[in-house]
C-alpha cells in the first residue's frame, strides 16, 4: 500500500537514474536572480528543507521581517541571527508528522523485504527464470529511534502495530515514555535491528551516525534516515553498505542533495528516495496553507500560527 500510494519504487528508480539533480538545478538559478533583483524590497522569505535563510541571505535583505518556512526542520535558517535582528520565523509542524512516519515504515518494509528490488525483478522479466531470493522479516524486529519528538513518536506507534519492541535515544530521558531509553546512540545501535534517525539536525546531531554507531549496528542491522543527510557520515555509510558491514539502509535524505553517492546506485541492499517523506498532495497543501497563513497573520498584525522565533 505504502509503495503504491507513495511511489517508493518510482522514487528509487528516479534517484538511481540520476534524475534528481535535474529538478533542483533550475529552481536554484531562478532564486538567485530573483533575490538579486528585489533585495531592497523583500519583506518575507519562504524557505524549505534545502534552501532557507542563512546569515548571508538575511544580511542581503534589509527589509526582511519574516521567514515562513515550508518545512518542520529549520536547519537551513540561522535562527540566532533572525532572533538578533528581530526577524520572525515559522515552520510547518504537525501537518506532516503522519506522512513522514508512514514513509519511515514504508522504508523499513521496502528495505527489509526488498520491495523495490522485487519490482525491478518483475519489470526485467526475471521471474520466469526463477523465484526471487528470500528477504528479512520486519514484524517483531527491535526498532531503535534517535529522537522521540512528534515524528519519532509517530514512527514508534506505527512500529508497535508490527509487534516491534521500541527503544530510543534522545538528549534526555522522557519520563512519560514507556519505551526503553539508551543514554548513547552506540548503546541503542548495539541493541536494535533497525536504527531510525528522526531527530532535528543541529550542531550536536551532525554525523550522529558515525563509524562507531555503524559498527555497533552490525552486519544484521538496518539504518533508516528520514531526518537530514548530514546526520550521517555518508562516506562511512557507503563503505559499510558496499562491504556489507551493515545489512541495508533506507534513505530519504542525503548529505549533498540532490547529489547521491553513485556507489549506492547498483546496490541491492539500499532503497533510495529523493527527500519525499512529506511529499503527498494532502500534506504539501496543508504545509502551503500554514506557510501562507503565517504570512497573512504577520502582515495583518495577528498572532503567528506556528511561531519559532
Q: Which of 8, 49, 57, 112 binds ligand 8YV (CB under 6 A)?
A: 49
73 binds ligand 8YV (CB under 6 A): yes
- If one asks whether residue 274 binds ligand 8YV (CB under 6 A), the answer comes out as no
Closest listed residue to residue 197, CA positions, set 133, 138, 149, 131: 149
Active site residue 206: no
* 14 binds ligand 8YV per the rule CB under 6 A: no
Q: Could you tell me the CA-to-CA distances from 242 to 114, 117, 220, 261, 269 in Å, in that order?
A: 17, 17, 14, 12, 9
- Clarify whether 228 is annotated catalytic: yes
What span, in angstroms and rounded, lies between the C-alpha atoms of 178 and 134? 34
Q: Which is nearer to ligand 8YV, 189 or 226 (CB)?
A: 226
Smallest gap from Cβ 33 to ligand 8YV, in A, equals: 20
Hey, which residues between 94 and 123 contact ligand 8YV (CB under 6 A)?
96
Q: Which of 13, 255, 257, 284 is catalytic?
A: 257
Rank residues 8 and 240 by Cβ distance to ligand 8YV and give the closer one.
8
231 binds ligand 8YV, rule: CB under 6 A = no
Question: What nine digits make up the cell of 135?
Answer: 528477504
In terms of CB distance, is 82 or 192 closer to ligand 8YV?
82
CA angle 290, 293, 294 (to 5 degrees): 85
Of 35 and 162, nearer to ligand 8YV (C-beta) is 35
- 71 or 306, CB closer to ligand 8YV? 71
Strands (E) located in 38-79:
44-45, 66-68
| Sheet hosting strand 88-90, strand order edge to edge | 44-45, 66-68, 88-90
**Catalytic entry in 158, 231, 275, 298:** 275
| Sole window of 46-54, 139-147, 204-212, 293-301 interacting with ligand 8YV (rule: CB under 6 A) | 46-54
Among 68, 71, 90, 170, binds ligand 8YV (CB under 6 A): 71
**Alpha-carbon gap, residue 47 to 129, rounded angstroms:** 49
On whether the CB atoms of residues 221 and 191 are closer than 8 A, the answer is no
Contact predicate 146/185, CB 8 Å: yes
Q: Which is nearer to ligand 8YV, 149 or 165 (CB)?
A: 149
The one catalytic residue in 158, 228, 231, 298 is 228
CB 278 within 8 A of CB 119: no
Interface with ligand 8YV, residue 273, by CB under 6 A:
no
Q: In whole angstroms, what is the distance from residue 250 CA to residue 126 CA?
A: 24
Q: Catalytic residue at 275?
A: yes
**275 lies in the site for ligand 8YV, by CB under 6 A:** yes
Q: Out of 278, 280, 294, 306, name the contact with ligand 8YV by CB under 6 A.
A: 278
Residue with smaller CB distance to ligand 8YV, 189 or 291: 291
The one segment of 44-52, 118-126, 261-269, 298-306 that binds ligand 8YV by CB under 6 A: 44-52
What is the helix (H) or strand (E) element at residue 141, kind and residue range? Answer: none
CB 91 within 8 Å of CB 67:
no
Question: What are the Cα distances from residue 42, in Å, to 37, 51, 252, 298?
Answer: 10, 16, 32, 14
Using CB under 6 A as the binding rule, whether residue 53 contacts ligand 8YV is answered as no
Element (H, E) at 11: helix 8-16
Of 201, 306, 308, 300, whose CA–CA distance to 257 is shortest? 201
Active site residues: 228, 257, 275
Please give the residue ranges that form the binding site for ligand 8YV (CB under 6 A). Answer: 48-50, 70-73, 96, 275, 278
Amino acid at each position: 500500500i505504502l509503495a503504491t500510494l507513495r511511489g517508493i519504487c518510482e522514487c528509487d528508480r528516479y534517484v538511481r537514474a540520476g534524475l534528481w539533480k535535474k529538478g533542483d538545478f533550475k529552481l536554484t538559478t531562478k532564486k538567485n536572480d530573483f533575490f538579486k533583483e528585489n533585495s531592497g524590497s523583500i519583506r518575507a522569505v519562504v524557505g524549505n528543507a534545502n534552501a532557507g535563510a542563512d546569515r548571508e541571505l538575511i544580511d542581503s535583505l534589509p527589509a526582511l521581517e519574516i521567514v515562513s518556512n515550508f518545512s518542520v526542520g529549520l536547519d537551513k535558517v540561522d535562527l540566532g541571527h533572525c532572533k538578533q535582528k528581530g526577524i520572525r520565523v515559522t515552520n510547518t509542524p504537525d501537518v506532516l508528522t503522519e506522512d513522514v512516519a508512514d514513509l519511515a515504515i514504508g522504508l523499513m518494509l521496502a528495505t527489509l523485504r526488498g520491495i523495490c528490488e522485487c519490482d525491478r525483478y518483475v519489470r526485467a522479466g526475471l521471474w520466469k527464470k526463477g523465484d526471487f531470493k528470500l528477504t528479512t522479516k520486519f514484524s517483531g524486529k527491535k526498532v531503535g529511534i534517535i529522537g522521540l519528538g512528534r515524528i519519532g513518536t509517530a514512527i514508534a506507534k506505527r512500529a508497535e502495530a508490527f509487534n516491534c519492541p521500541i527503544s530510543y535515544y534522545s538528549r534526555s530521558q522522557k519520563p512519560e515514555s514507556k519505551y526503553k531509553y539508551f543514554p548513547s546512540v552506540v548503546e541503542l545501535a548495539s541493541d536494535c535491528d533497525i536504527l531510525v534517525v528522526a531527530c532535528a539536525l543541529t550542531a550536536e546531531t551532525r554525523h550522529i551516525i558515525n563509524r562507531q554507531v555503524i559498527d555497533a549496528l552490525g552486519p544484521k542491522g538496518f539504518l533508516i534516515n528520514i531526518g537530514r543527510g548530514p546526520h550521517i557520515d555518508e562516506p562511512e555509510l557507503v563503505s559499510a553498505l558496499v562491504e556489507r558491514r551493515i545489512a541495508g539502509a533506507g534513505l530519504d535524505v542525503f548529505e549533498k542533495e540532490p547529489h547521491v553517492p553513485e556507489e549506492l546506485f547498483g546496490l541491492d541492499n539500499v532503497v533510495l528516495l529523493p527527500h519525499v517523506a512529506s511529499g503527498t498532495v494532502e500534506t504539501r497543501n496543508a504545509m502551503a496553507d500554514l506557510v501562507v497563513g503565517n504570512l497573512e497573520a504577520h502582515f495583518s498584525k495577528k498572532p503567528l500560527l506556528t511561531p519559532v522565533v
